Each structure stands twice: as C-alpha cells, then as structure tokens.
Chain A
C-alpha cells in the first residue's frame, strides 16, 4: 500500500464551480499534513498546511480526519488560475527525519 493515495483525476470543472479532492495516508504516526500545488513543468509550492481542526484560506478549505487517515481540500468559486496539479503531502516517521511523502497528485482543469 502506498503511503499517500490520491485520485489522479483529471477533474474538469467550469469556472465558479466547487471541487473537492481527497487523500488517504497509511502511516498513523504522521504528524504534519500539507497540500502543495504544482503548475505544469514547475516546481511544487506549498498551498496550505492542514490542521486537525480544519483550516481555511480564502477559497480553499482543508480538513483532516486522523481516525480515518483522510485529508481533503475544497476549492470554492474555481478560477482559471486554479488549474494545476494538487499534491497531498504527509510527513514520515521520526526515523526518516520527518521526510515528506507525496501523493501522485490530482490534476485540475478549470474551463471558461
């Protein structure tokens, strides 16, 4: 079983739509969770950290369910500029130096 699993998509949505991405992780000892965004042929960049209580940053909302080992990202009022690949990221165990484990990414295309 992979450490971090995501639906690869692609998700094709019209501008203004709400879209949700899901992610599951296998290591119950993981302590840090993130969503990174990666534009085509660019490097990944941190979108937001994910906290146990859930957190929101503008149109983006992240949720964490530790019991189910499940992370989600909700994007409201999608913009054309949101088109990218969204990577679910979970930190590893202490023995690995807390290295980050990346999912394969979910591809989003927002259309006019």
Chain B
C-alpha cells in the first residue's frame, strides 16, 4: 500500500515570498491533517479535514496560511507571505476513518521549509 506522498521535499525561500505544499493521502483515507514541526518540538496541528470539510483550523495562522482539500483527496497548504519563523517541517498525515477515538495517523515524509 502506498504511503502518504508530499512534495516538494525541500524548499528554500526568502521572507515575504509565497510557497505551496502538496499532499496526497493514502487512498481511501477520509481524514487529512497538516502539522508544523519546528526543530526540537513535537508536531503541531495546523488544520484537519474530514473529506473536503474543515474539522479544526484553530491553530492555523489565517492571515498568512491557507489550505484546501478539493474533492476530498489531495490537499495543498500555502503560506503567503512567509516569515522567518515559518521555517519548519510541514507534515501531512491521513487516517482511514472519520475523525474519532483511537485512529492511527500515517505521516508523509514532510516538506522541510527554510525561510531566509
């Protein structure tokens, strides 16, 4: 079974530029998550989709971050404009069932973003 795919794997941009990340979850997984992991920290949830609807985006900095999951499959996360503190690994994860208790989440390899 193919895992969660993410691209690009690495991205270097200058502050105030824009960047977009793409995620393709495991086939058939209803729930998709975007996390931000800053060096030395655990992953922090940015946004959670269930099919193509947003379940939780309370920690998404909406003035600069946006995400969508059209057709309930692939998802993109965009940062516009980027700040130095956005340097992190952006992890996409998916889980097979609707959000609920006990679901294992499967993570993609992440996109490592460096903002100069």
Contacts and interface: CB of A to CB of B under 8 A. Distances in A.
**A and B associate:** yes
Interface in B94-109: 99-105, 107-109
B42 A105 contact: yes
Interface string A63-107: 000000000000000000000000100010000111111111100
A99 B41 contact: no
Contact of B40 (A42, A99, A104): A104
Contacts, number: 60
A52 to B, nearest CB: 12
Contacts of A43: 91, 107-110
A32 B102 contact: yes
Contacts of B33: 99-100
Given A43-B109, A45-B107, A104-B40, A98 B45 contact: no
Contacts of A14: none
A99 B108 contact: no
B42 A97 contact: no
B101 A98 contact: yes
Contact of B42 (A32, A46, A103): A103
Contacts of B50: 97
Please classify how large the interface on chain B is, using the bins under 10, 10 to 19, 20 to 34, 35 or more. Answer: 20 to 34
B48 interface: yes
A54 interface: no
A31 B101 contact: yes
A49 interface: yes
Interface of A: 4, 8, 31-32, 34, 42-46, 49, 87, 91, 96-105
Given A99-B56, A104-B41, A104-B42, 17 more contacts: A31-B101, A32-B101, A32-B103, A42-B109, A43-B91, A43-B107, A43-B108, A43-B109, A49-B102, A91-B102, A96-B55, A96-B56, A97-B50, A99-B45, A100-B45, A102-B35, A104-B40
